[in-house]
Amino acid sequence: MRIHLTISFLVLAALGSVLTAQVLDSENKLTITLKDQTKVTLYGQASSLSDAKTNSYYYLPCNLRLSRKQDGTPEFLFLKFTSDERNATGVMQGALLHLLMEYGLTKAQETELSGILKSRYNGGILKGAADVEPDGDNSVRVISATLGSKDLTRSLVFNGKAPTLPGSKIAVAAMLDKQGAQIFAATLEKSRSIADLSLNLSFNYQIRVPAAKGYIKEDWSKIDSLAQKDSASFSKNTDTNYGKKVGNTLVGALFGGPIGGLIGWFGSGSEEHYSYDELREFYRKLEENKVVTLRFEENVSDERVDKIREAFFQHFLNSFTEKDGNAAREPSLKEKEAIPDIKQGDSYVFKREVRDVVKQKKIQIFDLSYSMAVKRSHQLTENFASWYDQNKDNPKCVGLVNIGDAFFQYRDINVILDIEAEEMMGKEVNYVTVSIRKKRSEEGAYDFSQDVTFDRKFLEKEGNRYTVTYSKAQDANPEMYEYKVQWSLRGGLVFPPNDTTWKKGSWQGLSLAPPIAPRTIRFEADLADMKQMGIKNATLQLRYKKFGKEIESNIGINASGTDGFAEKMIFMDRNTQGYAYRLVFHDKDLGPIATDWDAKINTDYMYAAIPKQIRNKDQNWIKLGLEAAKVLVTVDETGAVSKDQQVLDKFRKIIDIAEKK
């Protein structure tokens, strides 16, 4: 009676416990093209105990596409950006690409595919996606000359491993620099073919393939002939060192004694204990003497035969022996090699039913036509252009932005000290302080404030320019700022003295001009004419406004001198355009004769023209002039002319400049 055992059953049992539950049959492969030209490769589920083909199919990864949000928006962004700011590193120009992909059939495609399987392939059933694993750590590949170039793309990041489940997302993100963005965008926008970006996913999947057709035969009838043939030589055999017990029983039965000895041993009922190594040696002898035969119908490597032999020995062990847990011991080296996680060496006894097998000289054939699981690779590749083309008009996906977010911008205020003030520094001006503040409109935002003081030392070190910078963030009107200026002047004056009014700043910057302007007044006289007319001195009296007060300054020329020219710098309020003046001629006999006060828009030049009334000796006019000259000017502690002697009010229209509001 022949007993057929199928090792494939055992293999599949192991497969089920160690590997994966889904087993694909390489002999049952389909390739189906869907209406939208998506090509789907499917494998049938392997039958667990036979080579029969099932009609249950699993599909390999396909249909790589952009993933979509729940509202249908593609999860894709291509954003070109630029800026009004120049930046040496080019950070402010470039493009950002970010996309999420997934693969797998859509519901509609699954329905279509199920229908095709059912109608065209004998009621085939679509069971779902095949189990796959990423083909290594770099199973997602970005194929692009632009994105792959470090001098065109600042950074490129993406999932290294392809996801194993359909619908799982794969992210790719790149920041392109200025040139890279232009090249990549050109391939998207100008070409109607493909873009310089393809994406590739690589997977491995396992399929069962038939192989190693062959068998293992146990022929216990050979024991008889062996016993007869070798009985004479047994006594010379010294190969008995593999175990006293085996030597006394099994080997004796096999090689030394008649078959009855073996049967007697098997039937003796004695429970002899054998180690793992002893049984291995026994099995080797069985093979050596053709009691156990391995045969393959094809050429198979020795190493592979060894593995199969090893597997079958294990099967022999389990079929013919039982473990005796009471005799635990240290495992042997061979035992450890075969069973790496073994903790204790086993002790074995032969099963009692084995004697029946031997007594009946049974022949057992073990079919080795088992299937093996092998790995196969599978790739998915798509170009980005089709995804882009579908979404190029979707503002949620494709955009252009000029980076001008005030939040990230700064406002620079250039504070420049006027050239006149620079000249006056250390003369009329001790220092000037400008206070700048920026009140921010957003609730909870801090206000900005900074004071800058220009004095002679600051001028020498920093020059006449200083930049005050504040952030434009958290304010509705980031350009607007306020300021106030205070001047410290010679003599301890402060102008304005107690002014706390904040003024709105100009967008151009802030020019610090002093409230007073220097003017050099040149005064000239004809010395010979003065001498001829008996005038010893001519004086120019000027009245002008300084810090809003009326000030008098005099410039004199003496006829006895050699120079008929004199000049003097005066400091007038910047908001005036002229001054009042009179001439005082000192007659050698009559004394000082003063002309009437008159006003003049700034020419900065006066000539001491001797009035015709003096030349004509007009006594009435001279009398009035003598009276006018007698008035002594009184000033207060600031140098201001006393109110009853002030004259500028009469010339306000000429002198004052309408103040800008």
Partner 1 sequence: MHSKAKLFAIVLAFLSGICCTAQAIDLSGKLTCTLPSKVAVALFPTSQNNHEYYCLPTNLRVSYKETSTPEFLFMAWKNEGSTQIDGGILHWLLTWGLIKNEEKFVRDFLIAKVDSNAVLKGVLTFTAPSKYQFLGKNTELIALLQRSLSSGGIIPSEPSGKSASSFRFSAEDARTIEKLIHTPEKADGVWIEMPLFFPDGQEMCRLRLPLKSIFQAGAKCPTCLILPK
Question: What residues from 172 to 211 belong to the interface with partner 1 (CB under 8 A)?
Answer: 183, 186-187, 190-198, 200, 202, 206, 209-211
Answer for the pair 344, 331: CB distance below 8 angstroms, yes or no: yes
The distance of closest approach from Cβ of residue 460 to partner 1 in the complex, given in angstroms and rounded to an integer, is: 45
Sign of the four-CA dihedral 488, 492, 496, 499: positive
Q: Does 92 bind partner 1 (CB under 8 A)?
A: no
The closest alpha carbon to 437, from 448, 424, 426, belongs to 448
Measured from the Cβ of residue 546, the count of other Cβ atoms closer than 10 Å reads 23
Q: Does 164 bind partner 1 (CB under 8 A)?
A: no
Answer for the pair 102, 170: CB distance below 8 angstroms, yes or no: yes
What DSSP assignment string belongs to 467-517? EEEEE-TT-SSTT--EEEEEEEETTTEEESSS----EEPBTTBEEE--SEE
Residues 579-618 that bind partner 1 (CB under 8 A): none
Q: Which stretch binds partner 1 (CB under 8 A): 245-253, 308-316, 559-567, 599-607?
A: 308-316
Residues 338-357 that bind partner 1 (CB under 8 A): 338-339, 341-342
The distance of closest approach from Cβ of residue 207 to partner 1 in the complex, given in angstroms and rounded to an integer, is: 8
Task: Find residue 466's DSSP bridge partners.
Answer: 415
Q: Does 150 bind partner 1 (CB under 8 A)?
A: no
The distance of closest approach from Cβ of residue 138 to partner 1 in the complex, given in angstroms and rounded to an integer, is: 11
Q: Which stretch binds partner 1 (CB under 8 A): 301-309, 444-452, 476-484, 558-566?
A: 301-309
The distance of closest approach from Cβ of residue 404 to partner 1 in the complex, given in angstroms and rounded to an integer, is: 26
Out of 244, 304, 361, 588, which residue is the one contacting partner 1 (CB under 8 A)?
Answer: 304
Judged by beta carbon, residue 346 or residue 475, the one nearer partner 1 is 346
Return the biggest CA–CA distance within the chain: 181
595 Cβ contact partners less than 8 Å away, ≥ 6 residues apart: 582, 583, 584, 611, 625
What DSSP assignment string belongs to 599-645? EEES--EEE-PPPHHHHTT-HHHHHHHHHHHHPPP-B-TTSBBPGGG
Q: Does 377 bind partner 1 (CB under 8 A)?
A: yes
With CB under 8 A as the rule, give the number of residues binding partner 1: 74
The distance of closest approach from Cβ of residue 413 to partner 1 in the complex, given in angstroms and rounded to an integer, is: 36
Residues 25-64 that bind partner 1 (CB under 8 A): 26-27, 29-31, 33, 37, 39, 41, 51, 60
Tokens of 328: 């635990």
Judged by beta carbon, residue 323 or residue 361, the one nearer partner 1 is 323
Judged by beta carbon, residue 57 or residue 454, the one nearer partner 1 is 57
Out of 106, 125, 148, 488, which residue is the one contacting partner 1 (CB under 8 A)?
Answer: 148
Angstrom distance (rounded) from CA 158 to CA 609: 93
The closest alpha carbon to 565, from 619, 604, 601, 607, belongs to 607
Judged by beta carbon, residue 46 or residue 60, the one nearer partner 1 is 60
The distance of closest approach from Cβ of residue 339 to partner 1 in the complex, given in angstroms and rounded to an integer, is: 5
Mapped to the 3 state alphabet, what secondary structure does 64-89 carry?
CEECECCCCCECEEEEEEEECCCCCC
Residues 111-140 that bind partner 1 (CB under 8 A): 121
Task: Find residue 5's DSSP bridge partners.
Answer: 366
The distance of closest approach from Cβ of residue 418 to partner 1 in the complex, given in angstroms and rounded to an integer, is: 43
Answer for the pair 502, 482: CB distance below 8 angstroms, yes or no: yes
The closest alpha carbon to 251, from 324, 220, 243, belongs to 243
Tokens of 568: 């003097």
Residue 306 CB-density burial (10 A; 0-12 exposed, 13-18 middle, 19+ buried): exposed
Tokens of 660: 């800008």
Out of 5, 6, 11, 92, which residue is the one contacting partner 1 (CB under 8 A)?
Answer: 11
Judged by beta carbon, residue 245 or residue 376, the one nearer partner 1 is 376
Out of 17, 89, 498, 620, which residue is the one contacting partner 1 (CB under 8 A)?
Answer: 17
What DSSP assignment string belongs to 294-339? EEESS---HHHHHHHHHHHHHHHHHHHEEE-GGG-BPPPHHHHHHS
The distance of closest approach from Cβ of residue 327 to partner 1 in the complex, given in angstroms and rounded to an integer, is: 17
Residues 317-336 that bind partner 1 (CB under 8 A): 318
The distance of closest approach from Cβ of residue 398 to partner 1 in the complex, given in angstroms and rounded to an integer, is: 19
Judged by beta carbon, residue 39 or residue 650, the one nearer partner 1 is 39
Q: Does 101 bind partner 1 (CB under 8 A)?
A: no
The distance of closest approach from Cβ of residue 386 to partner 1 in the complex, given in angstroms and rounded to an integer, is: 7
The distance of closest approach from Cβ of residue 156 to partner 1 in the complex, given in angstroms and rounded to an integer, is: 11
The distance of closest approach from Cβ of residue 30 to partner 1 in the complex, given in angstroms and rounded to an integer, is: 6
Answer for the pair 157, 135: CB distance below 8 angstroms, yes or no: no
Residue 253 CB-density burial (10 A; 0-12 exposed, 13-18 middle, 19+ buried): buried
Q: Does 392 bind partner 1 (CB under 8 A)?
A: no
The distance of closest approach from Cβ of residue 374 to partner 1 in the complex, given in angstroms and rounded to an integer, is: 5
Q: Which stretch binds partner 1 (CB under 8 A): 356-364, 382-390, 575-583, 631-639?
A: 382-390
Angstrom distance (rounded) from CA 457 to CA 452: 13
The distance of closest approach from Cβ of residue 431 to partner 1 in the complex, given in angstroms and rounded to an integer, is: 51
Judged by beta carbon, residue 98 or residue 378, the one nearer partner 1 is 378
Q: Does 169 bind partner 1 (CB under 8 A)?
A: no
Task: Find residue 448's DSSP bridge partners.
Answer: 438
Length of the chain: 661
Judged by beta carbon, residue 166 or residue 515, the one nearer partner 1 is 166
3-state secondary structure of 8: helix
Q: Does 145 bind partner 1 (CB under 8 A)?
A: yes
> Which residue type sits at 190?
K
Judged by beta carbon, residue 206 or residue 539, the one nearer partner 1 is 206
Residues 542-571 that bind partner 1 (CB under 8 A): none
Check whether the bond before 496 is cis (ω within 30° of 0): yes
